[in-house]
Structure 1
Amino acid sequence: MKNVTKLAYITSLALALSSGCKPELELVNPQELSTDTYYKTAEQLEASVIPAYQAIVGRVQGGYGRSLYYELLAPGDDFDHTFKWEPMYQDTYNTPASDGMASGTWKDLWNGVSASNLAIDRITNFEGTIDEERKNRLLGEAHFLRAFHYMHLAAMFGETVPLIDKPVASDEDYYPTNSTKGQVYALIISDFTKAAELLPLRSALYANTAQIGRATKGAAQAYLARAYMYRPILESGQRADFAAAEAQLKKVIESNEYRLVDQFRDNFLETKENNAESVFEVQMFNGPGWLGDDISSSWRWQEIGMFDGTGGAWWNLAPNKKTNDEFEPGDPRKFMTLWCENGAYFTQLDGKVTSYQDWIKNLATNKDLFGTRKYCPDVQVPDIDNGNNDRLLRYSDVYLMYAECLNERGDVAGAKTYIDLVRNRANNVVPTEQPHLWYQRSRGTIPNVDGLLAKDTTINGVRLNNIKNIIAHERYVEFTGEYLRYFDLLRWGFADPQWLEPLKKLGWTERSTYYPFPQAELDNNKNLTGNAMNN
């Protein structure tokens, strides 16, 4: 379902702050809708949160619809840019403040904050007739979305981004100062907490098919847990709050609202969106147009999916050899995640069926890189974009985060239980897969945690002889291409520097933890100071 993205986008919102410019004229057309005249009915209030959802996709190509996947994946040790994009600053740890990609993401995230602030204000102060349950749900969505956008801002640009928690009301509001230490993290925690209190369970909300794709209580609780675990990134110098995260994850698990779907691959198919494993995903919609009408489509499959030389794929960012080698022998997820040797075939527009050997023959360089099959169709579509939703938080992540929390407090047996749930699913036969793939008719062969410990194997230099290392390995292979690896290494590394070594080998330094504030924003707002990357 694409209900959220199909709803009308309110283009009349005055989001001048996020675009880094202050309007100079104050012209009011009484016949035109504005943020002051629009929110007068319950139906209009219902639409108030839609711009904040749309900002996740991106209105200036800075969201998950296009460039955000580069910025979240490239800094990790799992993906490399290809010869098709030289230079790509995002994996050099030297992104300039003039970089257009970072600037576009900055704008879209602030669009989301501004839209959320406006929705919170209008919903809170609404004087019309509306059912209290409906009002609470909408307010919960607005708080969830503000926290969501702020979590991205803090994780990407650092904790000194401005703290803006109300609609722009005066000239001074256009030129905010930096936030102080801990303010943004506190807002994120507060907003996700409020959202968890106000939002209904998934089963109740999705009983109305028009609401499928909106934030739920489980999504707020799971993101709140993630924020507690990301605290070292969101608030410099602080340790993760595993106990608080565990409490929220336990609520999600005990709600019985979610389950692991039987087939790992079903989490990445356009025909299996918003399934039982989906906690929160971006609602994409590929309209009839190529650019102008497709404000909610995804370019991911074209840009970071299939190899170069297969009918026009761009292949700008690709999984590297380390990622290929991280998968254990007999793990079917490798072939559902990567375009790789002995893996799936790809059918081009001309009907030609190609394999790994064909793709490699077409390459003059970068033969040590791979393709990303996740979210990529097996049969080429005659469009540069599609409407495949991006799953941002899956129930398997709830299990693995919970296992991590249990392990942190010494409950090794409990941690093993939840890791094994994810690993056991990985071994399932996938009858819907391509016939030549062995796991279409035979189970995978990766062992349970005890069996893995007994093997005492080493993968990519990490010895899998303890639960923490096994969790790190399992998160790597389960979530390859799902934007978590870089941030996992950061949050672990700020507590235990050994986890930063893979990044340091690539040139990472503490200074380059975040992207710089866009120079255009600093030029426009003299009250704002950049982060370490701006110096």
Structure 2
Amino acid sequence: MKNILRTGIRFVILITALSSCKPNLDLVNPQELSTDTYYKTADQLEGAIIPAYQALIGRVQGGYARSFYYELLAPGDDYNHTFKWEPMYQDTYNTPASDGMAASSWKDMWNGVFSANLAIDRISNFTGSIDATRKNRMLGEAYFLRGLFYMHLEELYGETVPLIVKPVTSDKDYYPTNAQKGQVYAQIISDFQKASDLLPVRSQLYTTAAYIGRATKGAAQAYLAKAYLYRPILELGQPANFTGAEAALKSVIDSKEYDLVPYFKDNFSDKTENNAESIFEIQMHNGPGWLGDDMSDSWRWQEIGMFDGTGGAWWNLAPNKKTYDEFEPGDPRKYMTLWCDNGAKYTQVDGTVTDYNYWMSKLATNKNLYGTRKYCPDVQLADFDDGINDRLIRYADVYLMYAECLNEKGDVTGAKTYINKVRARANNVVPTEQPQLWYQHSPGTIPDVDALLAQDITINGIRLNTIKNIIAHERYVEFAGEYVRYFDLLRWGMADAKWLDPLKSIGWTTRAMYYPFPQSELDNNKNLKGNAMNN
């Protein structure tokens, strides 16, 4: 039937062309919108940016709504896959090029690049009436998002991913070659620098409710600093640019636009989204449906949150004993990060209030693993998904990255100051917590940096007798489950191989630093060569 229909259409077109007195027959449907006919007003230009934001969540379940938390967490030494997902390749360092999860993340990140490129092109070349401030802000958002997508692509697949900086205009554009060493990293830095120049500060942008959660000057500066520190893995073998990172981070701090929220837990609740500590977060929304009906929801709580056997949770990826042990005695963050012994209780959808003993009685195996409480509601949802925003970069990260930069140049006193800000907040009484938790009415007891140095303790084989080791420890416990641990170890390991030991002990090799290019992409594009994992 379809072949008959196509033949009929071709016949009609042929007859029309032969009987027409005009050559070059225009077959464009004026009623049909396209990228060439739509972006004619300033309001329509606003729509050019939205698909790029959506790609971060994921159009093919390859973004932060689903696949990304596996791709970013599983390779680290802090999370293990559970018996519920066999085989799962992401934490075995043997991911095949045919793996569907890695392929879906590849697709969504390139969806984001293409969307950002289109937005940059249409906004830059717009000749209609538009306020210059508005145009700069939209262009800044597009540059920021393109830089972020390329940063993710390099983190996951290495620096030879293609470099595409303009919209697709011909068939040739669909078959790019590999980027040369350093090209993509230079583009990431350029995009974040342009975004930081063009974007307004948070307090100015957020006066318009519709713009809350969008990229700001502070977000661009924070990610610029992160890219400078991540340089050893984004431009393999090159040293981190601590001087550039320090300057960018100081700009964020000096802006007075951000602050640590009083309660650590407020960084992971749907009641406290886009707060003073949030520099950039994924804007999630849980609609009425699931399994494809929602386009902006997260499956994180269902898949890596509560233990198996409790309210139908899937529990595919879980914090391990090493993560549990990394927390110092008296650190309340352990119980706000993990579902564990002596911690919070969980209410199932049927009203049953459960605790650690209940979870262990229902758990078949992997009793040495834990649940992820971050981004997981204390009361089970009737739906599979939820709408809790994923905070990608927080002000606490700015403080600890800044401390790292200060320590590298020998300013130990300054480094201690910013580490202590994060540690002091961790000790705060949390009146909004469950009443049986001790830190609801008593402060935490972790010491400041000088007292910690005096203790000279060893945690998970790392002696906390240097500022660098304390920064590594603090980043582990502050950001557990927030996608930084694996990449911290990689970037430090490029300068000092001892930081790779935790990964090597669980099977990591330099060959497995990145995921392979998807085989389907290599089959379709003969101009493209894979990375070491494809060989």
Query: TM-score per shorter chain, which class?
Result: over 0.9
Tell me what 1:256 maps to: 256
How many Å separate the matches in 2 of 1:218 and 1:120? 20
How many Å separate the matches in 1 of 2:341 and 2:127? 62
Matches within 5 A, 1:292-371: 292-371=292-371
Tell me what 2:418 maps to: 418
Matches within 5 A, 1:133-212: 133-212=133-212
Could you list the per-position Cα deviations for residues 213-261 of structure 1 after superposition, in whole angstroms to 9, with x for gaps in the alignment?
Answer: 1000000000000000000010011010001000000000000000000
Tell me what 2:6 maps to: none
Tell me what 2:511 maps to: 511
Could you list the per-position Cα deviations for residues 296-343 of structure 1 after superposition, in whole angstroms to 9, with x for gaps in the alignment?
Answer: 000000000000111100000000000000000000000000000000
How many Å separate the matches in 2 of 1:31 and 1:180? 43
How many Å separate the matches in 1 of 2:157 and 2:290? 31
Given the two structures, how large is their TM-score scaled by the length of structure 2? 0.95
How many Å separate the matches in 1 of 2:421 and 2:95? 39
Tell me what 2:487 maps to: 487
Matches within 5 A, 1:428-447: 428-447=428-447
How many Å separate the matches in 2 of 1:279 and 1:364? 40
How many Å separate the matches in 2 of 1:289 and 1:533? 38
Instruction: Quote the offset at 1:28 in angstroms.
Output: 4.5
Secondary structure of 2:90's aligned partner: helix
Secondary structure of 1:90's aligned partner: coil
Gaps of 5+ in 2: 1-25
How many Å separate the matches in 2 of 1:289 and 1:370? 29
Tell me what 2:521 maps to: 521
How many Å separate the matches in 2 of 1:292 and 1:316? 20
How many Å separate the matches in 2 of 1:143 and 1:272? 28
Tell me what 2:57 maps to: 57
Secondary structure of 1:91's aligned partner: coil
AA at the equivalent of 1:144: F
AA at the equivalent of 1:179: A
CA RMSD of aligned residues (A): 0.8
Could you list the per-position Cα deviations for residues 141-160 of structure 1 after superposition, in whole angstroms to 9, with x for gaps in the alignment?
Answer: 00000000000001100000
Secondary structure of 1:96's aligned partner: coil
Could you list the per-position Cα deviations for residues 248-291 of structure 1 after superposition, in whole angstroms to 9, with x for gaps in the alignment?
Answer: 00000000000000000000000100000000000001112223
Secondary structure of 1:392's aligned partner: strand
Tell me what 1:279 maps to: 279
Secondary structure of 2:425's aligned partner: helix
Is 1:235 aligned to residue 242 of structure 2?
no
Is 1:458 aligned to residue 463 of structure 2?
no
Could you list the per-position Cα deviations for residues 19-49 of structure 1 after superposition, in whole angstroms to 9, with x for gaps in the alignment?
Answer: xxxxxxx985331111001100110001110
Instruction: Quote the offset at 1:173 in angstroms.
Output: 0.7
Could you list the per-position Cα deviations for residues 337-395 of structure 1 after superposition, in whole angstroms to 9, with x for gaps in the alignment?
Answer: 00000000000011111101111111221000000000000000100001000000000
How many Å separate the matches in 2 of 1:103 and 1:290? 22
How many Å separate the matches in 2 of 1:184 and 1:485? 23
AA at the equivalent of 1:446: I
Given the two structures, how large is their TM-score scaled by the length of structure 1? 0.95
How many Å separate the matches in 1 of 2:29 and 2:361? 62
How many Å separate the matches in 2 of 1:181 and 1:390? 32
Tell me what 2:373 maps to: 373
State the percentage of identical aligned residues: 76
How many Å separate the matches in 1 of 2:292 and 2:350? 27
How many Å separate the matches in 2 of 1:349 and 1:170? 52
How many Å separate the matches in 1 of 2:418 and 2:383? 40
Larger radius of gyration: 2
Secondary structure of 1:391's aligned partner: strand
Q: Quick one: structure 1 residues 27 and 511, their matched pair in 2 at CA, closer, same or farther if it must change by over 3 Å?
A: farther
How many Å separate the matches in 1 of 2:289 and 2:349? 19
How many Å separate the matches in 2 of 1:163 and 1:111? 14
Could you list the per-position Cα deviations for residues 93-118 of structure 1 after superposition, in whole angstroms to 9, with x for gaps in the alignment?
Answer: 00000000000000000000000000
How many Å separate the matches in 1 of 2:259 and 2:447? 21
Secondary structure of 2:271's aligned partner: helix
Is 1:42 aligned to residue 42 of structure 2?
yes
Tell me what 2:226 maps to: 226
How many Å separate the matches in 1 of 2:186 and 2:416? 32
How many Å separate the matches in 1 of 2:425 and 2:156? 32
How many Å separate the matches in 2 of 1:435 and 1:191? 47
AA at the equivalent of 1:37: T
How many Å separate the matches in 2 of 1:272 and 1:286? 16
Could you list the per-position Cα deviations for residues 193-212 of structure 1 after superposition, in whole angstroms to 9, with x for gaps in the alignment?
Answer: 00000000000000111100
Q: Quick one: structure 1 residues 523 and 28, their matched pair in 2 at CA, closer, same or farther if it must change by over 3 Å?
A: farther
Secondary structure of 1:113's aligned partner: helix
How many Å separate the matches in 2 of 1:380 and 1:67? 22
